[in-house]
């Protein structure tokens, strides 16, 4: 089993961690090592400040000295998750090292822990604590320090701070190699200032230099020049290319390249590759670039090497083009792999060439130019050979002064000597310096003038007074540097003929602006550690001398702007860094820290009360002080320590209507308080605090971690990139955080706001925060479509989060947490559950892709199951239930409900009293089986199955309860709307075939019966029935009652039976028998046979060759025979016993009337004679049972035959002879 050493982060507060070390051996046994406070105590920062800085013993910190433990990692160990002290706390692991046998490394760690405990380091909660102890133990053991303990990861206050043998407590010298500042760091961000810590004590250097000139100013200063480089020779040991780091990516490694006793920030090689080194002074360490191979190497001729390969050639004694065992230097060469990346060689990091199987290194190179992506450049390459015959690669840089390999940043530095501190320096605040300016306490020890200035500065009680002294402050500090500005150098050499000329774009020599910039330039040079002495402002490290002559420096406008910005940021850094040690010291010292079981808990209640009082007394000044306090301490750190200062600030801003316009660039933010008439505020590329007005504003944060608060009005807030905080204040606002981990703040009376939170940035965590007085019980979470709505009870206030539930709230629109002032929070899972909680009102509830159970309770509810096998219960009210995909169970409950199963095998449940429900069961998925299930007490005999159109209706006898299944019979119940089975509690079930049969069963009432595509027989029995045959050759019998019969497709037989019936043959060759009663028969298409039967019937047949049948007693029938089909032959047939002589043919207008002699029976053929009986209404033949027939010509002749009575005779288009005989005739 591989062994490993890990750092473990144990979360002991709302956002901060305690670190300890964990070793797992090859047998799985575990051992831990930790640091702790020596005493449990409760103390304010004021008490801590007064504890002094001397102290190895108990007379110092109220919390005693740091103590350490190391033991077996079992339930008795305080940090073990099974121990009551640590139970329930989040613990995260980061691997430091793994390998076959790490027992030696663990022994070094435990020995270091013992030493630390004996050295007597005061425990200080924020800067010298258990986290400092863990890092120091790793550092002393030659192991790399953790990477994940910063603000963006598992923040562990005090990480990285050195504990060098207790001398850090003694008050002599600077605080080691700590990077100047803290939060500044990146390009263009503000300085590190006090927000880097806000953690040092005000007296002496016990806390290390607090804040100082920050990386933001350093970045701006570097932007005004070409960055310098250095070129040590490096070996690619693992064959994956040379990998480096630089200050640009946040990795600050300090190393003394040129041997001047000052370590500076530098690019560096990562641990998997190594420097080729030679311990030239034999002290067992690599002290400077003199002991690397590069331009800082002094060759045997007393000259510096031009590059690393030139330095290597100098030790090639036999001049054979390689360094191998034949060269005396070979055995003394070492490879330095800086495993812990601290720029300091440890014994375990230095190995021989033989130990790395290297037998030779070539001294010749090929020029290349490989950009390593972070400011470092490889400009030459060679090879080395291993004992196994493989060839490795060496890389180094061009030795020319302007084209070096490793990016050097002299802003970051560490003096290797220390200035003894004066009593004045020990009594005054201290700051970190940079470049060639020492830390403030050492600078004060070099200059009484500076000390007096700082003393005066600390006594100022107003913001304006302190700002007014900053220019003098920074200049006096710069004057203590061990280098002069380029102008001062030239002035000192003027007698030797040295003259400096500046060509400054946009500035005229002799003007106040020109002189002011040159003053600032000289100050920036000393804080950067170089002069802008090249022809175009390139960095210069060598001073002018008597031979320099005329020197001209030309700076472009962009360079001037960068240098001026660096100066301004240095001033800001100094101002903020001293705030917590001077003017805002009382606020800082009211923080209370309580250690329990050796670990700290922070309380800010007194801080908040103090600011509330100050703001009440003087709103403008109190708020500005609060803003500056937060920037100096670090708003994120305050939040992680347990005080949401940002939300407190927003609440105070919203409660303070009248503020004066104010703008200031601080390290945490660029602050802009809008004037009353200013409604559009746009931020910068760094963090901004934008405060709007009481009317409608547009606030745009841009890049950076911005805070936008709009106060009143209907506002639009757009955070853009960065971790932004948005508060619309009152009014109906639109909030868009965009990328980053954003926080949306809402306090009582916020209005009806909308959040659009589309954010695909990885690792983001977006939050809604409700302010004081709003508890979880006050917020009602509901869902509308994909939107989340959070409403304040008994108020019109609400927040709508658009598209929150897109992709089941896993999509880019979600809010990751909803937080409340009492510490309660809802994550996404909690919100998803809350919006499914029913009320007694009309709810809209939604399921997810999982298996959900939704209950509607009272009210007219809408329940949507979506994916998964869901159970939906509407309960009381007229509910709408939508199952969605999956095998769902839907129960409408009481009330008239609408149920939609959608895809999957769904079950619809009905119990007595269910109401009048409708099912829409469209489902095209293959293999599904949808079921209606009737509950206990409902037998098959209690359900009447009927059909209405394509709908199936299942009615409960003696009740108004019924279920209508829409379109069930679509495609003869083989379509997507069918229910596959109807189940009953006693085990009885109806399949589709059974249902189809049941709905064709007649009753004595008015039935609606339907056939299918098959040959059906439908009987109406009594009642006014409607029978539809649909497809197939059907037989429909209306029987008693006034019935409607529809044959549909096929050759159907329709028998109306008694009463006045309507018969529709529709398509096919149909037979229609009206029966008794006055019937209406419609043949439709096809060759139909129509017999009205007794009664006065109306017979219509359209297309096809139709036959009208009449038997004795048929009544007085009418035929409407409009038929334009070609070749048709329509016939009237008289039945048995009716001869041609029994029929009298007459004409009335265009109608043909065939009357049965001695009877009232007659047939009227409407419009028969249209177009002289050649039109579409004619009957082509009249037939008799004895075989006699009349064609059209015969009929035309018959109706012209006169009688002795009053005749109506008509001619045709031909030449006719009409005789009236007796009677009053009309011819």
pLDDT band for position 199 (50/70/90)?
A: very low
| Structure confidence at residue 665 as a pLDDT band (50, 70, 90) | confident
**pLDDT digit string, tens, across residues 308-337:** 899 999 999 999 999 999 999 999 999 999
Two tokens at 188?
């263009």
Contact between 54 and 17 under an 8 Å Cβ cutoff? The reply is: no
Domain co-membership, 1026 together with 911: no
User: Residue 366 — very low, low, confident or very high, per pLDDT cuts 50/70/90?
Assistant: confident
Q: What's the rounded mean pLDDT across residues 1031-1048?
A: 96
Q: Please give the pLDDT value at position 1156.
A: 98
**Tokens of residue 780, six digits:** 């009602």
Q: What is the model's pLDDT at position 389?
A: 61
* Across 357-366, 470-479, 887-896, least confident range: 357-366
Would you say residue 171 has pLDDT above 50? no
In a domain? residue 175: no
The whole-chain average pLDDT of the chain stands at 90
Banded pLDDT at 677 (limits 50, 70, 90) = confident
Could you tell me which residue, 279 or 221, shows the higher pLDDT?
279
Predicted confidence band of residue 374 (pLDDT cuts 50, 70, 90): confident
Same domain, 392 and 276: yes
Structure tokens at 778: 């006050």
- pLDDT for 246 equals 79
**1062-1079 residue pLDDT tens:** 999 999 999 999 999 999
Q: Give the pLDDT of residue 393.
A: 60
Domain assignment present for residue 632? The answer is no
Residues 860, 792 share a domain: no
The strand pair at 262-266 and 406-415 is best described as antiparallel
Res. 186: pLDDT tops 90:
no
Q: Give the pLDDT mean for 662-687.
A: 87
Report if residue 371 sits inside a domain.
yes
Q: Is residue 792 part of a domain?
A: yes
Could you tell me if 832 and 814 are in contact, meaning their C-beta atoms sit under 8 angstroms apart?
no
- Mean pLDDT over 1185-1208 rounds to 95
CA atoms 393, 397, 398, 403: torsion sign? positive
In a domain, 575, yes or no: no
Q: Answer yes or no: do 857 and 799 share one domain.
A: no
543 close to 492: Cβ distance less than 8 angstroms: no
Question: Domain of 30?
Answer: 3-170
Reply yes or no on whether the pLDDT at 130 is more than 50.
Answer: yes
> 857-887: per-residue pLDDT in tens?
999 999 999 999 999 999 999 999 999 999 9
Least confident of 135-144, 485-494, 1143-1152: 135-144
pLDDT of residue 1014: 95
Angstrom CA distances, 643 to 227, 310, 401, 953, stand at 41, 59, 51, 65
Considering the domain architecture, whether residues 952 and 1044 belong to the same structural domain is answered as no
Cα 575-576-580 angle, rounded to 5 deg = 110
What confidence score (pLDDT) does residue 394 get?
59
pLDDT at 211: 62
Give the separation between CA 865 and CA 887, rounded to whole angstroms: 10
Average pLDDT over residues 53-78: 79
Q: What is the pLDDT of residue 401?
A: 21
> Is 158 in the same domain as 281?
no
Could you tell me if 1014 and 1031 are in contact, meaning their C-beta atoms sit under 8 angstroms apart?
A: yes
The b-or-e profile of 936-967 (16+ CB within 10 A means b, else e) is eebebebbebbbeebbbbbbbeeeebbbbbbb
- Whether residue 893 sits in one domain with residue 773: no
Q: 383-432 pLDDT, tens per residue?
A: 888 887 666 665 543 322 222 367 777 788 888 888 999 999 999 998 98
As a whole number of angstroms, the distance between CA 1121 and CA 1100 comes to: 6
Q: Which of 403, 431, 456 delimits the end of a domain?
A: 403
| 210: in domain | no
pLDDT of residue 402: 22
Residue 1048 predicted with pLDDT over 60: yes
Determine what percent of the chain is predicted with pLDDT higher than 70.
Answer: 92
Domain count, the chain: 5
Tens digit of each residue's pLDDT (9 = 90 or more) over 939-978: 999 999 999 999 999 999 999 999 999 999 999 999 999 9
Please give the full DSSP string across 273-336, using - where no structure is assigned: SEEEEE-TT-SSS--SGGGBSSTTPBPTTSSBPSSHHHHHHTT-TT-SSEEETTSTTGGGEEEE
Report, as an integer, the average pLDDT of 512-531. 96
For residues 965 and 1109, membership in a common domain is answered with: no
1203 domain-assigned: no
- Alpha-carbon distances, residue 107 vs 33, 101, 133, 140, 289 (angstroms): 11, 12, 16, 12, 32
Q: Is 456 helix (H, G, I), strand (E, B) or coil?
A: helix
Kindly state whether residues 1181 and 1155 are assigned to the same domain: yes
Select from 998, 1027, 1055 the last residue of a domain: 998
Domain stops at, among 121, 145, 170: 170
Query: pLDDT at position 580, please?
Result: 92
Q: Mark whether 111 and 145 lie in a shared domain.
A: yes
340, part of any domain: yes
Same domain, 1094 and 1159: yes
Over residues 798-854, the pLDDT tens digits come to 999 999 999 999 999 999 999 998 989 999 999 999 999 999 999 999 999 999 999
Residue 215: predicted pLDDT: 60
In the prediction, which pLDDT does 46 show? 63
pLDDT number for residue 221: 65
Give yes or no for residue 1114 having a pLDDT over 80.
yes
Record the pTM: 0.70
Q: What is the pLDDT of residue 264?
A: 86
* Same domain membership, residue 855 and residue 769: no
């Amino acid at each position: 089993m591989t062994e490993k050493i890990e750092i473990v982060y144990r979360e002991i507060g709302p956002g901060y961690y305690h670190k300890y070390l964990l070793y797992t051996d090859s047998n799985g046994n575990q051992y831990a090592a930790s640091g702790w406070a020596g005493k449990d105590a409760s103390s304010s920062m004021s008490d801590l400040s007064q504890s002094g800085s001397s102290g190895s013993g108990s007379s110092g910190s109220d919390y005693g000295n740091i103590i350490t433990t190391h033991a077996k990692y079992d339930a008795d160990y305080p940090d073990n998750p099974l121990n009551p002290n640590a139970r329930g706390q989040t613990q995260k692991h980061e691997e430091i090292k793994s390998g076959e046998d790490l027992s030696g490394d663990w022994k070094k760690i435990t020995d270091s822990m013992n030493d630390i405990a004996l050295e007597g380091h005061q425990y200080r909660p924020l800067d010298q604590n258990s986290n400092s102890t863990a890092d120091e133990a790793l550092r002393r053991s030659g192991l790399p320090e953790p990477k994940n303990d910063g603000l963006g990861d598992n923040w562990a206050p005090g990480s990285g701070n050195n504990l060098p043998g207790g001398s850090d407590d003694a008050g002599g010298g600077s605080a080691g190699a700590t990077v100047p500042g803290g939060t500044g760091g990146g390009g263009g961000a503000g300085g590190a200032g006090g927000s880097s810590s806000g953690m040092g004590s005000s007296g002496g250097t016990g806390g290390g230099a607090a804040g100082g000139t920050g990386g933001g100013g350093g970045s701006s200063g570097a932007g005004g020049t070409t960055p310098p480089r250095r070129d040590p020779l490096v070996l690619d040991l693992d064959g994956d290319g040379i990998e480096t780091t630089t200050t640009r990516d946040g990795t600050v490694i300090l190393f003394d390249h040129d041997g001047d006793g000052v370590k500076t920030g530098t690019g560096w090689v990562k641990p998997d590759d190594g420097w080729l080194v030679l311990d030239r002074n034999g002290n067992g360490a690599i002290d400077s670039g003199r002991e690397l191979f590069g331009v800082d190497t002094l060759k045997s001729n007393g000259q510096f090497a031009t590059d690393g390969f030139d330095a290597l050639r100098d030790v090639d004694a036999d001049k054979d083009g390689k360094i191998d065992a034949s060269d005396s230097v070979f055995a003394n060469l070492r490879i330095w792999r800086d495993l812990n990346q601290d720029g300091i060689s440890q014994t375990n990091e230095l190995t021989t060439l033989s130990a790395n199987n290297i037998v030779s290194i070539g001294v010749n190179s090929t020029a290349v130019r490989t950009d390593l992506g972070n400011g470092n450049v490889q400009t030459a390459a060679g090879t080395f050979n291993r004992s196994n015959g493989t060839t490795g690669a060496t890389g180094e840089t061009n030795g020319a002064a302007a084209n070096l390999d490793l990016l050097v940043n002299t802003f970051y530095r560490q003096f290797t000597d220390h200035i003894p501190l004066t009593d004045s320096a020990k009594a005054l605040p201290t700051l970190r310096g940079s470049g060639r300016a020492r830390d403030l306490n050492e600078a004060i020890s070099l200059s009484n003038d500076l000390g007096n200035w700082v003393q005066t500065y600390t006594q100022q009680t107003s913001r304006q007074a302190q700002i007014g002294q900053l220019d003098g402050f920074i200049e006096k500090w710069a004057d203590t540097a061990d280098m002069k500005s380029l102008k001062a150098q030239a002035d000192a050499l003027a007698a030797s003929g040295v003259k400096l000329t500046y060509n400054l774009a946009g500035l005229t020599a002799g003007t106040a602006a020109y002189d002011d910039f040159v003053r600032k330039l000289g100050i920036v040079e000393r804080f950067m550690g170089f002069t802008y002495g090249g022809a175009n402002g390139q960095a210069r490290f060598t001073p002018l001398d008597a031979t320099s002559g005329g020197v001209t420096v030309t700076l472009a406008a962009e360079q001037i702007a960068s240098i001026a910005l660096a100066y301004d940021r240095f001033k800001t850094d100094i101002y903020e860094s001293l705030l917590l040690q001077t003017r805002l010291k009382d606020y800082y010292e009211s923080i209370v820290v309580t250690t329990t079981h050796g670990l700290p808990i922070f309380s800010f209640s007194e801080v908040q009360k103090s600011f509330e009082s100050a703001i009440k007394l003087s709103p403008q000044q109190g708020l500005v002080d609060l803003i500056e306090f937060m920037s100096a301490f670090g708003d994120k750190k305050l939040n992680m320590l347990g005080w949401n200062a940002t939300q407190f600030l927003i609440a105070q801003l919203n409660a303070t209507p009248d503020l004066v316009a104010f703008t200031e660039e601080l390290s945490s933010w660029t602050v802009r308080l809008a004037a009353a008439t200013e409604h559009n505020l746009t931020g910068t590329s760094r963090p901004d605090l934008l405060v709007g007005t009481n009317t409608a504003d547009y606030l745009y944060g841009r890049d950076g971690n911005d805070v936008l608060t709009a106060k009143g009005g209907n506002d639009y807030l757009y955070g853009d990139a960065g971790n932004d905080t948005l508060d619309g204040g009152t009014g109906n606002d639109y909030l868009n955080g965009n990328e980053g981990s954003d926080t949306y703040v809402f306090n009582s009376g916020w209005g009806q706001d909308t959040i659009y939170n589309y954010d695909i940035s990885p690792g983001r965590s977006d939050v809604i925060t409700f302010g004081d007085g709003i508890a979880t019980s006050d917020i009602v979470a509901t869902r509308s479509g994909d939107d989340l709505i959070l409403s304040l009870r008994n108020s019109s206030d609400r927040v709508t989060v658009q598209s929150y539930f897109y992709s089941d709230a896993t999509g880019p629109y979600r809010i990751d947490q909803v937080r409340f002032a009492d510490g309660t929070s809802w994550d996404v899972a909690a919100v998803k559950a809350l919006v499914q909680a029913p009320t007694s009102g009309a709810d809209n509830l939604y399921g997810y892709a999982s298996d959900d159970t939704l209950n509607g309770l009272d009210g007219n509810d809408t329940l949507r199951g979506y994916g998964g096998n869901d159970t939906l219960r509407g309960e009381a009210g007229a509910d709408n239930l939508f199952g969605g995909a999956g095998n769902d169970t839907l129960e409408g409950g009481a009330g008239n409900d609408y149920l939609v199963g959608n895809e999957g095998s769904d079950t619809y449940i009905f119990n007595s009293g269910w109401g009048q429900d409708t099912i829409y069961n469209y489902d095209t998925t293959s293999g599904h089986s949808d079921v209606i299930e009737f509950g206990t007490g409902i037998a098959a005999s209690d359900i009447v199955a009927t059909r209405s159109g394509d709908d199936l209706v299942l009615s409960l006898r003696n009740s108004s309860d019924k279920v209508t299944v829409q379109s069930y019979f679509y495609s003869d119940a083989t379509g997507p709307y069918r229910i596959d089975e109807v189940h009953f509690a006693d085990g009885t079930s109806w399949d589709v075939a059974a249902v189809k049969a049941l709905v064709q069963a007649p009753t004595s009432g008015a039935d609606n019966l339907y056939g299918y595509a098959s040959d059906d027989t439908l009987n109406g029995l009594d009642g006014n029935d409607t029978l539809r045959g649909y497809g197939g050759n059907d037989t429909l019998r209306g029987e008693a009652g006034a019935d409607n019969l529809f044959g549909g497709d096929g050759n159907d037989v329709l028998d109306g039976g008694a009463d006045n019936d309507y018969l529709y043959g529709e398509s096919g060759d149909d037979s229609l028998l009206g029966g008794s009663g006055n019937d209406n028969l419609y043949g439709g298409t096809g060759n139909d046979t129509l017999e009205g039967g007794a009664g006065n019937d109306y017979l219509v047949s359209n297309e096809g060759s139709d036959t009208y049948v009449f038997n004795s007693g048929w009544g007085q029938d009418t035929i409407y025979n409009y038929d334009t089909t070609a070749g048709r032959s329509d016939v009237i047939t008289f039945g048995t016993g009716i001869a041609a002589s029994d029929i009298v043919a007459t004409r009335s207008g265009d109608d043909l009337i065939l009357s049965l002699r001695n009877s009232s029976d007659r047939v009227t053929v409407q419009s028969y004679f249209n177009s002289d009986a050649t039109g579409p209404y004619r009957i082509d033949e009249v037939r008799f049972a004895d075989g006699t027939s009349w064609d059209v010509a015969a009929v035309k002749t018959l109706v012209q035959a006169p009688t002795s009575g009053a005749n109506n005779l008509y001619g045709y288009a031909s030449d006719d002879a009409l005789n009236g005989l007796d009677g009053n005739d009309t011819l």
